[in-house]
Structure 1
Amino acid sequence: MLNKLKYALLLLCLPAAVWAADFEDGKHYTTLNTERSAQNQVTEFFSFYCPHCFRFEPVAIALENSLPKGTSFVKSHVNFLGGISPQVQTNLSYAYIIGKQNGKAHQIAERLFNTIHVQRERLDSMAELRKFMAAQGISELEFDAALVSMPVLTAEKAMADAQQKFSDAGALTGVPTFIVNDKYKLNISELKSQDELHELVQYLLKK
């Protein structure tokens, strides 16, 4: 998995190219034994504690910006990384969800990644997380109120349910993992450029 992810990061360095690839099931993507989503969407399973996800974030942002109108890009934070308690990881899920509901999804994601991987602060206590959110313009009182609100609890449950669903389907064994329309897992290590990634996603959205 580590070598595959390192190889995938080369997408950032390769020149843009127009690919007319013949995409193969089992090579460029894997068809899952799950139901196709009713609406077009691309889901990225990731963790703010994952260094590969941190380095891959520019690729994910470019992919999100390339999607056709009407296609959702869903960032789904996981809590299964080793060495960190699931609750601490789930707390960052809450922080991202609250940021998103306040129109600050990209800001919160960028600064969480930067705080953890550049500044080397773990944010493994709620006190640290409250101070972090306050620095992003969401006061400690607002954060605490949001933590027990139904929209945030529902959104976090949706993340946890998605994690369980795709883990059970054998599709979620590490992060980052990208799944199109709940049906197709991208095999990132088989792709050679950002453009080929975009083309594969476009292809799968139409299947």
Structure 2
Amino acid sequence: MRNLIVSAALVATSLFGLSAQAAEPIQAGKQYVELSSPVPVSKPGKIEVVELFWYGCPHCYQFEPYINPWAEKLPEDVNFVRIPAMFGGVWNVHGQLFITLETMGVEHKVHTAVFEAIHKEGKKLATPEEMADFLAAQGVDKDAFLKTFNSFGVKGQMEKAKKLAMAYQITGVPVLVVNGKYRFDIGSAGGPTQALDVADQLIAKERAAN
């Protein structure tokens, strides 16, 4: 019994320590980096939160159960944007996949399915044909997907995404950027929950400044 009480006390102390840590005010250079050159947001007048990710990234996949419900509850003055990071090879192919789905207006319907196909089912989704076959089973028109995948519009959006990633000065994923000014990741924040707490504090900071 004594061991159980001691264990419970230790757990409580640990939980309290985590809560106290999460409640501490964030600092530039510690939990986040302030960019030397702010990047313009996609919707002026709204506070923008960007998540840079890669479908093949296990950490991005593990972050999904945290960021999705958080993003769904964001207030009207916050605009959440996903941008695929493209460092060459299959990163670019998966980035083209995401932008194609977004252009078709079906990304929100199949985003989770794509992640699970790669990380749970072992699919590579490394060619347009493999993607099209998989997406057809998810209700996405195969011919429309292939046509959009190879369109000038999608390739133009890819170049824009690459330039934004360079402007944000990212070296890995997942990364969050608030209002084109503040960059941080799960590691610098202290964990997935803490990363969203950092985002919340930076959103509040930007809201107060406006």
Structure 1 segment 144-159 matched on structure 2, within 5 A: 144-159=146-161
Paired residues of 1:95 and 1:133 also in contact (CA < 8 A)? no
Within the candidate set 20, 37, 49, 2:56 is matched to 49
Gaps of 5+ in 2: 1-14
Are 1:69 and 2:67 an aligned pair? Answer: no
Q: When the two structures are superposed, what TM-score results if normalisation uses the length of structure 1? A: 0.76
1:109 aligned partner, one-letter code: H
Q: Residue deviations 1:71-130, cap 9 Å, x none? A: 2211111222xxxxx243322222222222333223322111111111111112222112
* Distance in 2 (alpha carbons) for counterparts of 1:63 and 1:201: 10
1:83 equivalent in structure 2: none
1:105 aligned partner, one-letter code: E
* Distance in 2 (alpha carbons) for counterparts of 1:71 and 1:48: 24
1:34 aligned partner, one-letter code: S
Q: Secondary structure at the match of 2:33?
A: strand
Q: What percentage of residue pairs aligned between the two structures are identical?
A: 27
* Distance in 1 (alpha carbons) for counterparts of 2:150 and 2:192: 42
* Distance in 2 (alpha carbons) for counterparts of 1:88 and 1:191: 29
Q: Residue deviations 1:42-63, cap 9 Å, x none? A: 1111111111111111122133
* Distance in 2 (alpha carbons) for counterparts of 1:114 and 1:149: 26
* Distance in 2 (alpha carbons) for counterparts of 1:25 and 1:139: 46
* Distance in 2 (alpha carbons) for counterparts of 1:191 and 1:77: 23
2:178 equivalent in structure 1: 180
Return the index of the structure with the highest Cα Rg. 2
CA RMSD of aligned residues (A): 2.6
1:31 equivalent in structure 2: 34
Q: CA deviation at 1:131?
A: 0.8
Within the candidate set 99, 106, 112, 2:101 is matched to 99
Q: When the two structures are superposed, what TM-score results if normalisation uses the length of structure 2? A: 0.75
Paired residues of 1:180 and 1:201 also in contact (CA < 8 A)? yes
Q: CA deviation at 1:143?
A: 1.2
* Distance in 1 (alpha carbons) for counterparts of 2:160 and 2:104: 18
2:64 aligned partner, one-letter code: E
Q: 1:120 to 1:161 in 2, by over 3 A?
A: same
Q: 1:17 to 1:151 in 2, by over 3 A?
A: farther
How many correspondences in the alignment?
184
1:201 equivalent in structure 2: 199
1:110 equivalent in structure 2: 112
2:142 aligned partner, one-letter code: E
Gaps of 5+ in 1: 1-13, 81-85
Q: Which has the higher helix share?
A: 2
Comparing both chains, which one has the higher relative contact order based on Cα–Cα distances under 8 Å and sequence gaps of 6 or more?
Answer: 1
* Distance in 2 (alpha carbons) for counterparts of 1:118 and 1:193: 21
Q: CA deviation at 1:138?
A: 2.3
Q: 1:198 to 1:55 in 2, by over 3 A?
A: closer
